[in-house]
A and B are shown apart, each in its own frame.
Chain A
């Protein structure tokens, strides 16, 4: 996984609450059993006229040239709610996003972010409104800088905000770690657990029955 330590980039404001994963990547846009080819379907229902086809809807913020190359998304409360589809994070990442700053996140989406090198940073409503207002006025010159290690978000004029991130999540993001490899190193603890548990709850172990 690509490590994420700092980002300085254009941010796009999409300050709605309850943006669900069907909105982020509609089910009909998940066309294969792979993890790629999803960027095109990102926010398809809003991004394209009539919600289908590929005629861009000029009103939608991601279609506005001034937000080209954006890597940071600003959102409201409960971002990523609904279906557990990890495709939502894959689509955002493939489109070029590296961080989402929101008032709150749906838990499955939040965990999916960490596993895929995407920063989910929680900020207060007032902070988000201020950042959005600044960015909205001038996205290209008002780029946002994020530093994962210190949990800092800054604007060019020096205003700063802080976000909290679990230490484990921070390490995962900054070092681009693969969780499965990490867990397989704990094999002896896993095996010790199973040996004990097989005696206590044998009905769980269907292969033995």
Chain B
């Protein structure tokens, strides 16, 4: 009998081409995804070296990071020099023959939102993108991880990557989430407890009843923030939910191949008795809605708590808060719902459910940016756009938007923002901007209250 193996080990062994001297392994890469922020550099580097893309049918590119999200957008952006990222990427994508989801493409959207939507990422596949949140896509049971531009160049040219085998970790969430508590809160609670470097260098498998009961979009939110945990990648074993989700998607296996693929995917679970280098147990039932107070995602507490006595001066000064201050009731200037963490249809629905028939507090700037053009269409078909705009939110075209600051569009200097994004680093949303990360529900509730608020008080 073969010894029990982890889900990760099964994917790893399947893709191992050869072991390289010095401890690395040459791995086959099934899917490559680029975006205009970091992808153009890789494509141009490849072309400058006189190399082509080994397998253009398995390489994809999208305009999501720099592209404008204001209605009626074209190639122009508010970022100085931003247009060149778009036009350079388009030219490089076209001349290398990879699939491009351009600015006005009906399938355009944030890379980690559209890849699952289109069935580009598949269970058991290896997928890389020069973007740290590529781990989001591990929610489908793929080994997906973020790389640098030179590695992207390597993968494009050779269809392979040189990889050091990561350590394995399993995070098991038992129990059930309480009402108003979301996968975003699970992720933040994990990082708050075990630190922003708690999963460094690990392939983290999320498991347990509380994970198995999540829908695909919730699983993506959880895996997304593995990047903030320092992990190389995140994985959730594919199950019925995964398979149902993928059925009929554009790039999912067609015809007779579907049944064969599903058979293979069903074998992708960690065998009973398989061992992980690190095991962490979390009780989902004990998790509260979480909100960050500082400048690292680990600087987070439950919504009812105060800023801890152990808080560092630097973070406190940047955030303009003090030890012992309760988070609840802290006045905000702006609210942002979007990003590859929380901009899918279910996120927008849950935020809209709180907003319906209500208005955001006077003086608050609020933005909702759907994660993909398809999400935007679906939300509009349900009338969610009307709920957001009636509440006082701006309703945008899809993209990364103000998840990060590229030099153009920004919140007012010094603004305190409640945000459904994944990073609260200094300057992440613009110089001096103070970001508090939380779930879309908490963002919506806080926008209504004009101050950080507990979403459970707004549920009807």
Contacts and interface: CB of A to CB of B under 8 A. Distances in A.
A122 B166 CA distance: 17
Contacts of A16: 314
Interface in A175-209: 179-180, 183-184, 186, 189-190, 193-194, 197, 201-207, 209
B130 A84 contact: yes
B164 A201 contact: no
A145 to B, nearest CB: 25
Interface stretch (B18-26, B216-224, B448-456): B18-26
B122 A203 contact: yes
A201 B149 CA distance: 28
Contacts of B125: 204
Contacts of B26: 183, 186, 189-190
B45 A104 contact: no
A32 interface: yes
Contact of A179 (B14, B18, B162): B162
B158 A51 contact: no
Given A78-B200, A183-B160, A203-B261, A112 B425 contact: no
Nearest to A189: B18
B150 interface: yes
Classify chain B's interface size: 35 or more
Contacts of A167: 21-23
A58 interface: no
Nearest to A201: B264
A166 B88 contact: no
B143 interface: no
A112 to B, nearest CB: 4
A39 B249 CA distance: 44
B232 interface: yes
A33 B132 contact: no
Contacts of B56: 207
A180 B84 CA distance: 27
A34 B85 CA distance: 10
B51 to A, nearest CB: 7
A66 interface: no
B405 A180 contact: no
A85 B425 CA distance: 15
A31 B81 contact: yes
B365 interface: no
A104 B21 contact: no
A18 B428 CA distance: 14
Contacts of B132: 82-84, 108
A23 interface: yes
B151 interface: yes
Given A84-B146, A179-B162, A180-B157, A203 B84 contact: no
Contact of A186 (B18, B38, B261): B18
Interface in A78-104: 78, 81-86, 89, 104
B208 interface: no
B425 A20 contact: yes
Nearest to B261: A203
A203 B79 contact: no
B81 A111 contact: no
B55 interface: yes
Is chain B's interface secondary structure helix, strand, loop, or mixed overall? loop
Contacts of B85: 33
Contact of B22 (A20, A169, A202): A169
A203 B260 CA distance: 9
Given A77-B197, A107-B201, A171-B22, A184 B158 contact: yes
Interface string B193-206: 00011001100000
B131 interface: yes
B20 A168 contact: yes
Contact of A28 (B55, B130, B407): B407
A3 to B, nearest CB: 17
A50 interface: yes
B426 interface: yes
B88 A33 contact: yes
B158 A168 contact: no
Given A22-B427, A180-B157, A203-B257, A78 B230 contact: yes
A206 B14 CA distance: 18
A45 interface: yes
Contacts of A179: 150, 154, 162
Nearest to B81: A31
B162 A183 contact: yes
Given A78-B230, A166-B24, A206-B57, A85 B38 contact: yes
A200 B153 CA distance: 27
B21 A115 contact: no
Contacts of B207: none
A107 B232 contact: yes
Most buried by B among A32, A111, A166, A170: A111
Contacts of A106: 197, 200, 230
Contact of B158 (A50, A111, A183): A183
Interface string A16-28: 1010101100111
B40 A86 contact: no
B308 interface: no
Shortest 9 CB-CB contacts between residues of A and residues of B: A168-B22, A28-B407, A203-B253, A207-B57, A86-B148, A167-B22, A33-B40, A112-B148, A84-B132
12 contacts: A16-B314, A22-B426, A51-B432, A84-B132, A84-B147, A107-B232, A108-B148, A186-B26, A190-B158, A203-B253, A204-B125, A207-B55
Interface of B: 14, 17-18, 20-24, 26, 28, 30, 37-38, 40-41, 44-45, 49, 51, 55-58, 79-81, 84-85, 88-89, 122, 124-125, 130-132, 146-151, 153-154, 157-160, 162, 164, 166, 196-197, 200-201, 230, 232, 251-254, 257-258, 260-261, 264, 296, 314, 404-407, 423, 425-428, 431-432
Given A168-B20, A189-B26, 11 more contacts: A18-B296, A28-B405, A34-B41, A45-B431, A51-B432, A107-B232, A108-B148, A116-B150, A184-B158, A201-B14, A203-B260
